[in-house]
């Protein structure tokens, strides 16, 4: 197939603004290239494609990024800034993609406009939905596409898909990672880890409380989206509990993350998947998480981590005491079997081919 993959309109690839979708795009494009498909990526100006995606063409547009939807009220109307990057992306898709001979467009952005365009667009648009329910307007437009032709939609996990009104059982594709990019670390340091955008829906305050209770430092990797929130979390625990590491490229992140005894994953929302959960496991780090959203499906208790009831900080602190019983090789093996780039690419190919049938 000749495919056009549209990135998020939140910022350039490589900046971290696109959250987990940036890594999803890298795994998906590299995996589809390996299966012999022709790929073009449409992304914000200044985007950098990872080396594994070098064979893909890159189209870029400049413009004002979208505000991130996860920080809006449920009743928020759809917003588009002046000179919207999103508008430029989709004008370019409609103007150039049909003549360029693409079989399909694969949208990775969680934005109203491409969903709304789907039923009347001059070529097939597919959507890998990257979040659960966030606003009523997005719920409605996703439900509209599902009612029109649900084959155009795929989701990462069952917990995520359950947020939406879908007439058919959902297509679930999980996610896929380049395992060669993550080195297995057999021997951890006395250190806990947390990875994610530093923003309230990610629940860093719970992980900080667990670390303080266990008397272990917590290394924190990720983009600080909300500095006031970061300062409040820092103030909630004894000085020195949190080690702020910043946003690192994957090769540096994994080298440091692998040294953790456990990853604490504490989202407060219905996390669609949880890339960082699988990235930690790929390094051999077991994951301690709430039984909620994607992480609640990815963590297999006793095999690659432990689950506790949502928001149970005491339960997580107790799980830290039991985590050393989990063999670290088991975590890595689980990722190899369930979340490799090749596994994702095969699922995406099947989804698109079925959706393209008359």
Question: Which two three-digit tokens encode residue 61?
Answer: 């547009």
Give the list of residues 6+ apart from residue 227 with CB closer than 8 angstroms, or none.
Answer: none
Tell me whether residue 105 or residue 253 sits nearer to ligand UDP (CB atom).
Answer: 253
Cβ 146 to ligand UDP, closest distance in Å? 22
Instruction: Give the whole-angstrom CA distance, residue 328 versus residue 21.
Output: 27
Cβ 42 to ligand UDP, closest distance in Å? 19
Give the list of residues 6+ apart from residue 312 with CB closer than 8 angstroms, or none.
Answer: 290
Tell me whether residue 97 or residue 331 sits nearer to ligand UDP (CB atom).
Answer: 331
Polymer length of the chain:
358
Could you tell me where the DSSP H helices lie in the chain? Answer: 20-34, 85-100, 112-117, 136-149, 158-161, 204-214, 227-235, 250-257, 275-282, 293-298, 313-322, 328-338, 341-356
Question: Which two three-digit tokens encode residue 237?
Answer: 């625990």
Tell me whether residue 253 or residue 352 sits nearer to ligand UDP (CB atom).
Answer: 253
Tell me whether residue 71 or residue 354 sits nearer to ligand UDP (CB atom).
Answer: 71
Cβ 252 to ligand UDP, closest distance in Å? 8
Smallest CA-to-CA distance from 316 within 222, 211, 234 is with 211
Cβ 357 to ligand UDP, closest distance in Å? 31
Tell me whether residue 113 or residue 283 sits nearer to ligand UDP (CB atom).
Answer: 283
Cβ 120 to ligand UDP, closest distance in Å? 30
Tell me whether residue 89 or residue 110 sits nearer to ligand UDP (CB atom).
Answer: 110
Name the site residues for ligand UDP (rule: CB under 6 A): 19-20, 23, 195-197, 221-222, 247-248, 250, 253, 273-276, 279
Cβ 19 to ligand UDP, closest distance in Å? 3
**Under a CB-based contact definition with an 8 Å cutoff, are residues 258 and 181 in contact?**
no
């Amino acid at each position: 197939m000749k495919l056009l993959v549209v990135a998020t309109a939140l910022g350039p690839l490589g900046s971290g603004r696109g959250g987990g979708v940036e890594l999803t795009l890298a795994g998906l494009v590299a995996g589809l290239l390996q299966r012999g498909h022709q790929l073009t990526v449409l992304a914000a100006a200044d985007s950098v494609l990872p080396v594994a995606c070098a064979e893909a063409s890159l189209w870029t547009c400049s413009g004002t990024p979208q505000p991130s939807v996860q920080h809006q009220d449920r009743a928020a109307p759809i917003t588009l800034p002046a000179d919207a990057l999103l508008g430029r992306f989709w004008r370019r898709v409609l103007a150039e993609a049909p003549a360029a001979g693409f079989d399909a467009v694969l949208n990775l952005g969680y934005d109203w406009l491409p969903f709304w365009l789907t039923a009347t667009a001059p070529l097939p648009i597919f959507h890998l939905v990257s979040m659960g329910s966030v606003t009523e307007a997005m719920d409605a437009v996703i439900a509209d596409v599902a009612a029109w032709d649900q084959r155009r939609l795929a989701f990462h996990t069952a917990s995520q898909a359950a947020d939406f009104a879908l007439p058919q059982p959902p297509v679930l594709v999980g996610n896929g990672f380049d395992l060669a990019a993550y080195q297995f670390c057999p021997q951890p340091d006395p250190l806990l880890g947390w990875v994610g955008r530093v923003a309230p829906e990610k629940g860093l305050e719970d992980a900080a409380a667990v670390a303080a209770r266990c008397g272990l430092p917590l290394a924190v990797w990720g983009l600080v989206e909300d500095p006031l929130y970061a300062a409040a979390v820092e103030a909630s625990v004894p000085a020195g509990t949190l080690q702020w590491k910043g946003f690192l490229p994957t090769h540096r992140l994994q080298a440091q993350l692998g040294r953790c005894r456990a990853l604490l994953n504490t989202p407060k929302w219905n996390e669609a998947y949880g890339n960082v959960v699988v990235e930690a496991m790929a390094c051999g780090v077991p994951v301690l998480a709430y039984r909620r959203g994607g992480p609640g499906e990815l963590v297999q208790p006793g095999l690659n981590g432990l689950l506790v009831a949502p928001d149970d900080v005491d339960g997580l602190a107790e799980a830290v005491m039991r985590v050393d019983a989990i063999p670290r090789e088991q975590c890595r093996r689980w990722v190899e079997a369930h979340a490799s780039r090749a596994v994702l690419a095969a699922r995406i190919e099947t989804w698109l081919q079925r959706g393209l049938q008359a």
